[in-house]
Amino acid sequence: MTAFFNPAAPASIFASLDADEVAEVCIGIEQRDGVLTPEAVVDAAASLTSPLHSFFEWDDTKAGRHYRLQQARNLIGSLYITPLATATKVSVDVRAFPHIPGAGGGYVSQGTVASSPDLAIRLVEQYDRELRAVYARNRAWERTLKKSRVGGVVTAIEAYIKANPKP
């Protein structure tokens, strides 16, 4: 797996990190614990020799454990992979460790999702809820959005919702 950080994130945030090393640590935690949690990432990063150590603020006068947990969530959420494309499918960048409701409050790797029909279904259901929420939040902007460069996205979301009524 070749990992990289979210291209939309400021590069300086991750300047001291190697995305592949971060992914390896995260996979190791997931394999050990069954799920990747921010708590486990902070614990793994505490060692001075950890490739994650430099990402976190360790001065407790500046930041406590809660802040480091949020840093871990941001780190996990910013790690992306590009699954290999097949002859019939286009590759799309995806989060390396999506958060799945009911997965112990943590994150799981795309490989784990791919090997578990239950997790895959929960992830797709989560994406469906998120898509509907985005559409609902942007209904007020519908007229403006349809006239802009993202109008096709709004139309596509609309078509998806009409074709897939909520159960």
Interval 22-49: pLDDT, tens: 999 999 999 999 999 999 999 999 999 9
Which residues, 6+ apart, have CB-to-CB distance to 33 below 8 Å? 40, 106
In a shared domain, residues 92 and 123: no
Q: What is the mean pLDDT of residues 102-126?
A: 87
For residues 68 and 79, the answer to whether their CB atoms sit within 8 Å is no
Task: Give the domain extent around 111.
Answer: 1-115
Q: What is the pLDDT of residue 14?
A: 81
Burial (Cβ within 10 Å: 0-12, 13-18, ≥19) of residue 146: middle
What is the model's pTM? Answer: 0.61
Last residue of a domain, one of 115, 134, 149: 115
Q: Give the model's confidence band at 145: pLDDT under 50 very low, under 70 low, under 90 confident, else very high.
A: low
Position 60 pLDDT exceeds 80 = yes
Q: What is the mean pLDDT of residues 97-108?
A: 82
In a shared domain, residues 101 and 129: no
Tokens of 4: 């990289």
> 84-98 pLDDT, tens per residue?
665 566 677 888 999
Q: What is the pLDDT of residue 132?
A: 82
Q: Give the model's confidence band at 137: pLDDT under 50 very low, under 70 low, under 90 confident, else very high.
A: confident
In a shared domain, residues 74 and 144: no
Number of domains in the chain: 2
In a shared domain, residues 23 and 85: yes
In a shared domain, residues 62 and 120: no
Handedness of CA 47, 50, 52, 57 (dihedral sign): positive
Q: What is the pLDDT of residue 45?
A: 95
Euclidean distance between CA atoms 73 and 124, whole angstroms? 21
Euclidean distance between CA atoms 26 and 52, whole angstroms? 10
